[in-house]
A and B are shown apart, each in its own frame.
Chain A
Amino acid sequence: MASFSYAQPAISFHQLAYDFAAIGQEDQVEHVFEFANTGDQELVIEKLHAS
């Protein structure tokens, strides 16, 4: 049997969750999630949605 593999983008994150733990009342906290395109085609981030 022949097997085919198509070129595809692949999103891969280093981590999916981050816990700031206990913090004081700062105005704002920030965290950066890093990711990479580990596929072999262009990866497009279409949208981000926060809830």
Chain B
Amino acid sequence: MVASSSRLKPGERGKINVSVDTRGRTGRISKTIQVYANDPKNPVTKLAVQMYIKDRVHLNQYKAAEIFSEKCRDCHIDQGKGKKGWDLFMADCFMCHNAGKNSSLTEMSKKPREYLLRAIREGVENTVMPGWGAKAAGPLDEAEIKSLIDVMKD
């Protein structure tokens, strides 16, 4: 954020250059800039910029089972290998079950154990939740699935 010049004669023009670092950011960003000047009528002028940064990885709508594909598994599956319980949840579940995205941990914890078991094993229809159990060609065994439910029903 740079002003071209801090002193302007009557009639003179100036510029304020606003730059926003967007690295690693997605979603809506808004910034305001307050300009303090010796104008008695406008001692502070508020400027605003906003933008929406598209998520480059998830530009397309994916089907649930694609999460197990070569392209997705690096982030969504492989980090949870050999983990259980909370560690498994943080590695494989949290990136989708995060605040504002899909069901949160709090919401899921209110569901009955049986519902959660089925949802994790078989997936949830019409959502991006795939079936993680062996029958749905998912990567988790029964002990791992149960350990996730223990996290939610703790």
Which residues in A have their C-beta under 8 angstroms from that of B3? 45, 48
Secondary structure class of chain B's binding surface, majority of residues: strand
**Nearest B-chain residue to A37, judged by Cβ:** B8
B31 to chain A, nearest CB (A): 6
| Proximity bits, B14-26, A CB within 8 Å = 1, else 0 | 1111111111011
Contact A50 B1 (CB under 8 A): yes
A2 close to chain B: CB less than 8 A: no
From B5, B14, B19, B56, A30 is in contact (CB under 8 Å) with: B19
Give bound CA distance, A40 to B53, whole Å. 42
Q: Which residues of A contact B (CB under 8 A)?
A: 8-11, 13, 16-51
Sample 24 A-B pairs with CB under 8 A, ordered by A number: A8-B40, A9-B10, A9-B39, A17-B50, A19-B50, A20-B50, A22-B54, A23-B54, A27-B22, A28-B21, A32-B18, A33-B15, A33-B33, A34-B13, A35-B15, A39-B39, A43-B9, A45-B5, A45-B6, A45-B7, A48-B33, A49-B34, A50-B31, A50-B34
Interface residues of B (CB under 8 A from A): 1, 3, 5-23, 25-26, 31-42, 45-56
